[in-house]
């Protein structure tokens, strides 16, 4: 990766195409999910190496609970096995998780909590796994927390700001993504970080997630570098640093 390349502080990824990749190779869908975990490990290590500070990946949505029970069971087993590795220790990576944990099996909840505790002092990069997550769930949960504060008299409705919402969101501990990558060919957001990606650059690729490697990541970052991020300002203002 070129030293002159502007590296996004926060990359979010919708890891799509595992099942279709497996079918393309004449394998069961779970084979694709296992291959997807291998890709995640490689991309996580590469992001840490090039200087990304936050990586957030969409692993399992609230809608995915509607998949066949056997596939869900195998996915949950894969979550546990995939987190039992030295990736975080070797690369000084902190692990976080966002999503509706109450719906997860107890052993998965325990594994997540244990890994968060074990890696909490790691500083090089934070990887956040969105598990049993959807943006509508997160926003609903956020509104319920704020409403409870108003009801308790600790917050006035008139004092609610954008920062109040951020502070009460499950993912409020990290900055908004600079770059959102979706693999698998579909051009949609699929209920993922809808609040947070208001000004993210969006990169869609037909590459299935198991085939998304370091070179494909470089292409996404090169695309990011072609964009001038104005946040409502004019091009002239941005160029003058106003």
Residues annotated as catalytic are: 16, 64
By DSSP bridging, strand 179-182 and strand 201-204 are parallel
Give 133's strand partners.
Answer: 61
Per residue, the 3-state secondary structure of 137-192, as one string, reads HHHHHHHHHHHHHHHHCCCCHHHCCHHHHHHCCCCCCCCCCCEEEECCCCCCCCCC
What's the rounded Cα separation, in Å, for the pair 190 and 88?
28
SS3 state of residue 109: helix
What values do phi and psi take at 93, rounded to 5? -110, 130
3-state helix, strand, coil in the chain (%, to 5): 50, 15, 35
What residue ranges in the chain does DSSP mark as E strands? 10-14, 54-61, 93-98, 125-133, 179-182, 201-204
Burial 69-96 (b: 16+ CB within 10 A, else e): eeeeebbbebbeebbeeebbeebebbbb
Measure the CA–CA gap between 21 and 84, rounded to whole angstroms.
Answer: 24
């Amino acid at each position: 990766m070129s030293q002159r390349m502007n590296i996004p502080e926060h990359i979010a990824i919708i890891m799509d195409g595992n099942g279709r990749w497996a079918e393309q190779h004449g394998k069961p869908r779970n084979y694709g999910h296992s291959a997807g975990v291998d890709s995640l490990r490689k991309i996580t290590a590469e992001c840490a190496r090039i200087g990304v500070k936050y990586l957030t990946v969409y692993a399992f949505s609230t809608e995915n609970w509607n998949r066949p029970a056997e596939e869900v069971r195998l996915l949950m087993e894969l979550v546990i096995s995939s987190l039992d590795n030295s990736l975080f220790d070797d690369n000084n990576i902190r692990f976080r998780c966002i999503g509706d944990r109450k719906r997860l099996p107890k052993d998965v909840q325990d594994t997540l909590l244990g890994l968060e505790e074990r890696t909490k002092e790691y500083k090089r990069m934070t990887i956040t796994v969105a598990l049993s997550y959807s943006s509508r769930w997160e926003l609903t949960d956020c509104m319920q927390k704020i409403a409870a504060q108003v009801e308790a008299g600790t917050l006035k409705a008139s004092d609610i700001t954008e920062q109040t919402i951020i502070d009460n969101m499950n993912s409020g501990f990290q900055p908004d993504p600079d770059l959102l990558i979706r693999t698998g060919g579909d051009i949609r957001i699929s209920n993922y970080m809808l609040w947070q990606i208001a000004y993210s650059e969006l990169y869609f690729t037909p590459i299935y997630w198991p085939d998304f490697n370091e070179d494909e990541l470089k292409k996404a970052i090169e695309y990011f570098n072609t964009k001038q991020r104005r946040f409502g300002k004019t091009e002239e203002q941005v160029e003058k640093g106003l």
